[in-house]
A = this chain, B = another copy of it.
Amino acid sequence: MSTPGRGLHGRVLDTLGPAITAGEYPAGSVLRTDELAQRFEVSRSVMREAVRVLESMHLVESRRRVGVTVLPECEWNVYDPQVIRWRLAGSERPRQLRSLTVLRSAVEPVAAGLAARHATAEQCAELTECALGMVANSRGHRLEEYLFHDVAFHRVILTASGNEMFARLGGVVAEVLAGRTHHDVMFEDPDPAAVTLHVQVAEAVRARDAERAERLTREITEGALQELDILAP
């Protein structure tokens, strides 16, 4: 996914990042740049660049005479796509998936409401196309094809909202949906009710009915919450 290790410092991060986010080094652990450089068999310069990146993610803090200190989880930039990917790859995956699904439940309904106001004709068409693609692949264990259209659908909604903060969550939603299909629940065909809801959302957006689009999307995300046993109102 994305760009795995372009350059030596990237390789180092591919190992160190997951290790830190997995809690392998508890908060407060102190690492030394020189030692790390030796361990990964890279020069100090490369190691320093890697540490700088970790520092910009607030995963670690570098202080003179002390070393590179691992920061507590509450400091991490949990919205950084890289951090999200690292955490989703580790043992904290279930918890991470829950957090992100709750975030979805807050954002997507509002985004859908805005999409109903701002979506271009082209985006409306895309949305309908995605929904139809979901219908077409909702039976017969065509999970991958279904996922593809599902991800596209939610991406269009988030983008069409016209809000850049929402649009940037497209990747997050893609990860959550993919995670659900590949690892957790959904061993059989998707819930027909959910499929219908997607079609209805597409219709509501096309009809410029913001309130209806928001309400229907809220039903979708509440379904996602229930799948993960998160209590819904």
Contact = CB atoms under 8 A, between A and B. Distances in A.
A167 interface: yes
A99 B165 contact: yes
Counting chain B CB atoms within 10 Å of each CB, the highest count among A73, A99, A113 belongs to A99
A200 to B, nearest CB: 18
A78 interface: yes
A171 to B, nearest CB: 11
A166 B100 CA distance: 10
B103 A166 contact: yes
Nearest to A172: B165
A233 B115 CA distance: 12
Interface in A18-61: 45, 48-49, 52-53, 55-57
Nearest to A211: B233
Contact of A210 (B55, B56, B74, B233): B233
A81 B110 CA distance: 23
Which of the four size classes fits the interface of chain A?
35 or more
B78 A164 contact: yes
Contacts of A210: 233
26 contacts: A45-B45, A48-B49, A49-B49, A52-B53, A56-B56, A56-B82, A74-B164, A74-B167, A77-B80, A77-B168, A78-B165, A79-B168, A99-B164, A99-B165, A102-B163, A102-B165, A103-B107, A103-B163, A103-B166, A106-B107, A106-B111, A106-B166, A113-B233, A117-B231, A210-B233, A214-B233
